[in-house]
Amino acid sequence: KIVTKPGKIIKDEESGYNKNLFCIPKHYEEDLERVFIPHGLILDRTERLARDIMQDMGSHHIVALCVLKGGYKFFADLLDHIKALNQNGEKSVPITVDFVRIKSYCDTIETDIGFEIPDKFVVGYALDYNEYFRDLNHICILKEKAKEKYKI
């Protein structure tokens, strides 16, 4: 049986945060509308997901599969939290890591959701637009003019 756990739902009326409150690389400042999900919130939610995974897996072997390229940052942070829990917990379970590139997703079943967000054009935290913005720590909303600027 597959159980879906709800994530943090960010409603459409939640517009994010003023980008001037955060450290944004200078070369992206004019391209971003707002910070949508701050890095600290991403890390905290990722730690919670790691705890849920460890609890759900019990003493079973964990096979961690990273979907490249956009998932690498989340994957690395999630594995760091899982390893810390694994090393400092009462029980220790083996972890196997692998990587996969996928062009399209079909028949996917989401079991744990970090964030559910409205339909906005977001970049950062390894989510790119034509290979730009992967280096942002936060998930940000891209300005319309930036879509044109970085279009291929």
Please tell me the predicted confidence (pLDDT) of residue 107: 58
- For the chain, the domain total comes to 1
Please tell me the predicted confidence (pLDDT) of residue 131: 92
Does residue 1 form part of some domain?
Answer: no
Does residue 27 form part of some domain?
Answer: yes
Query: Does 71 have pLDDT greater than 80?
Result: yes
Residue 34 pairs in a beta bridge with: 141
The whole-model pTM stands at 0.79
Please tell me the predicted confidence (pLDDT) of residue 68: 82
Q: What is the mean pLDDT of residues 46-54?
A: 93
Does residue 2 form part of some domain?
Answer: no
Query: Does 5 have pLDDT greater than 70?
Result: no
CA angle centred on 129, ends 4 and 48, rounded to 5°: 30
What CATH number does the domain containing 38 carry? 3.40.50.2020
Tell me the residue range of the domain where 23 lies. Answer: 8-149
Residues of the chain above pLDDT 90, percent: 60
Q: What pLDDT band is residue 2 in, cutting at 50, 70 and 90?
A: very low
Please tell me the predicted confidence (pLDDT) of residue 67: 84
Please tell me the predicted confidence (pLDDT) of residue 10: 65
CA 36 to CA 138: how far, in whole Å? 7
Does residue 113 form part of some domain?
Answer: yes
Does residue 19 form part of some domain?
Answer: yes
Residue type, 141: I
CA 114 to CA 101: how far, in whole Å? 21
Structure token pair of residue 83: 């390893």
Residue type, 35: V
Please tell me the predicted confidence (pLDDT) of residue 3: 46
Average pLDDT, the chain: 85
Each residue's pLDDT tens digit, 77-129: 999 999 999 999 887 889 999 998 876 555 555 556 666 766 788 999 989 99
Does residue 3 form part of some domain?
Answer: no
Does residue 124 form part of some domain?
Answer: yes
Does residue 22 form part of some domain?
Answer: yes
Half-sphere exposure of 119 (CA within 13 A, CB side): 0
